[in-house]
Structure 1
Amino acid sequence: MGDISTCLKRTFTIFNIIFAVIGGLIILLGVLAQILTSVNGAANLENRTTSLIMLYVVGAITMVIAILGAYGAHKEKKGPLIAFLVCMVLGSMMMLRAGISTAFARPQLEPVLEDAFRKFLPLDQASEEIQKMTNALQSQMHCCGLFSYTDWGNNIPESCLCSQEEEEEEYKCQTVDYKEIMLETSVYRATCFPILMHYVLLITDVMLAVVFTLAAFALLGMGLSSLMIHQLRHPNRPPILLTVPVFSPQPPKYQELQNPPSYPGY
């Protein structure tokens, strides 16, 4: 005991506390994402469950690793610290790989999702599950159709219709004239896909920020844990101090020649 310097131990403890808080925030982010996607009617999206599971798993693993590192520092045991170091190395590699690949794939999200959603058109002939999800999006986001109100053909649902109060705000609603059925109705001017795409990109940006933040903390944890393991392996090694040599001025050689020493009696 006492082989690790107090300053390093305190720094490492503070680091693990922050690391555990980040893990808790990731779990909280997953809970909020689950609530928001359920409210907005996106509970049946295919990638939603996978993303939520990833958030929960990453948050839980982060907290466990932080507890492991704090325990190893407090007890000054090499085993937990080495395990912590290995987790930091693997974690930093995984986070950097995932973050870089996601950053390169981000610009392709919109065209890929647009092609996927256009396969649902026309909406009045889509499956009941797709129509239910779209109606929920339209009710929550006050939009009509994925790309246009014409996505519904001549069967515009009630979730597209503006209320009397909203009709007074011209920028929210537009009047649709169906020549085939001689009917005019007021529907939401906004379409759902751009709004949905905004939230998808927002979630992607948050995920990128989380991944690169974890990668930076993992690199910092690698450095701190490596120093602690080094101190445990070499407890009695004195610290290496770098000293700057001090040069004292010496008289030049020509001065010694010109001024020979005087002897008594001369």
Structure 2
Amino acid sequence: MAKINSRLKSLFTSYNLLFSMVGVLILVLGLWNDTWRQTDTELVREIGLVLLYMLGSLTLIFSLLGAYGAHYEHKLALVMFLVSTITGGIAMLTTGVSAAVARPQMVEQMEEMFKTALPLDKTTQRNKNAVYSMQKTLQCCGLFSYNDWQNQIPESCLCDVHKAVGSCTIVKHTSYSYGQMTKTIYSQPCFPSIVSYLNVGVDYIMGVSFTLAIMAVLGMALSSTMIHQMQDDVTKPTTVVLKVPAVFSPKKLPKYQHLFNTPLAAVFSPKLPKYQELFNTP
């Protein structure tokens, strides 16, 4: 079984724990927005909640996958985690940069879209209902001014002085039924509040995207290092020590004194025949 450095494994486990906490935090944020939302007609809000749920779920799943691969030293799980972090990191970085670049264009496009709905007293009923809900939620009147309603200021613009201190104003307008009359309405138009909420939303998107992108880069570095360690352990050659048998191993070597104090011929052949015996022997 391949071995991963214990310190690296502990660091990667801590990283996945932090990564899972980020996923849980994103899910809690989505649940909080879903529970405390004040209107059910905001399509952008619904899309944002779906994105939060998807992002939080994927973050939690990937963190559990990485923790499993590190604990059991499962190479396939680590490879899947590495691929997911690469893909997710590129997606988060692209989302953050796109949000930062598109912010001014979104404000301009929204302003042009709102101007096409003016005057509000002559727009479609669907647009009127959307503006009614917006005015109650944001405590504002009209998109750019209360004059957007001309002489048909709706009840959603009316301001209670006792509940909204400092945000009410008294205006005079001509009613078809009652003639000249005054009304206490919200002094703030809705478009600046919408732009403010839009900027906050874009800031959240950029913050979450860049944070997850940085964490993805860290996850890529850790997971690729562990995969490399596992690969090195598998492909490392096995060292075999061979013992060469002795070809010559005399049972009894001559002693030092005997070797140097005895004639050389007597050491290797102590009983050589004499010259006369060699040639005079039949």
Taking structure 1 as the reference length, the TM-score comes to 0.81
Specify whether residues 125 and 32 from structure 1 end up closer, same or farther in structure 2 by C-alpha distance, changes over 3 A only. Answer: farther
What does residue 202 of structure 2 align with? Answer: 204
Identity value in percent = 39
**1:53-202 map, 5 Å:** 53-165=50-162, 169=165, 171-179=166-174, 181-202=179-200
Counterpart amino acid of 1:191? P
Contact 1:166–1:172 (Cα < 8 Å) also in 2:
no
3-state SS of the aligned residue for 1:218? helix
- Structure 1 109/217 Cα, relative in aligned 2: closer, same or farther at 3 Å? same
Larger radius of gyration: 2
| 2-structure distance, mates of 1:149, 1:32 | 33
8 A Cα contact 2:135 2:156, kept in partner: yes
Shift of 1:95: 1.2
Residue 101 to residue 164, structure 1, CA distance change in 2 (3 Å): closer
CA contact (8 A) 1:135 1:159 kept: yes
Separation in 2, partners of 1:229, 1:223: 10
Offset of 1:233 from its aligned partner?
1.3
Q: CA deviation at 1:144?
A: 0.8
Task: State the alpha-carbon separation in 1 of the partners of residues 205 and 32 from structure 2.
Answer: 14
Paired with 1:18 and 1:125, the residues of 2 have a C-alpha distance of 53
Q: Which runs of 5+ in 2 are unaligned?
A: 237-282
Tell whether the 8 Å contact from 2:161 to 2:168 is kept in structure 1 after alignment.
no
Cα pair 2:160 2:168 within 8 Å, conserved: no
Change (3 A) 1:166 1:71: closer
CA contact under 8 A between 1:92 and 1:214: conserved in structure 2? Answer: yes
Equivalent residue, structure 2, for 1:24? 24
Question: Which range is displaced more, 122-131 or 136-145?
Answer: 122-131
Quote the residue 1:256 is aligned against.
none
Aligned counterpart, 2:15: 15
Q: Which residue in the other structure is 2:228 paired with?
A: 230
How many Å separate the matches in 2 of 1:115 and 1:45? 19
Distance 2:152 2:174 in 1: 14
2: distance between equivalents of 1:88 and 1:127? 47
Deviations 1:205-241 (A, max 9, x none): 001100000000000000000111111112387xxxx
The one-letter code sitting in structure 2 at the alignment partner of 1:220 is: L
Shift of 1:136: 2.2
CA deviations 1:140-199 (Å, max 9, x no partner) are: 3221111111111211111211224258x4x42222112562111121111111112111
- Equivalent residues of 1:166, 1:173 under 8 A apart: no
The alignment of Structure 1 onto Structure 2 pairs a total of residues equal to 232
Could you tell me how far 1:85 is from its partner in structure 2? 0.6
Q: Deviations over 1:4-49 (max 9, x none)?
A: 111111110110111111111122222333345x41x3x3334333
* SS of residue in 2 equivalent to 1:182: strand
* Structure 1 ranges of 4+ moved more than 4 A: none
Given the two structures, how large is their TM-score scaled by the length of structure 2?
0.76
Note the C-alpha offset of 1:68: 0.5
Cα drift, residue 2 of structure 1: 6.5
Q: Give secondary structure in 1 for the equivalent of 2:141.
A: coil
Deviations 1:116-154 (A, max 9, x none): 222222222233332222222222322111111111121
Q: Partners in 2 of 1:163 and 1:50 — Cα distance?
A: 33
What is the aligned partner in structure 1 of residue 5 from structure 2? 5
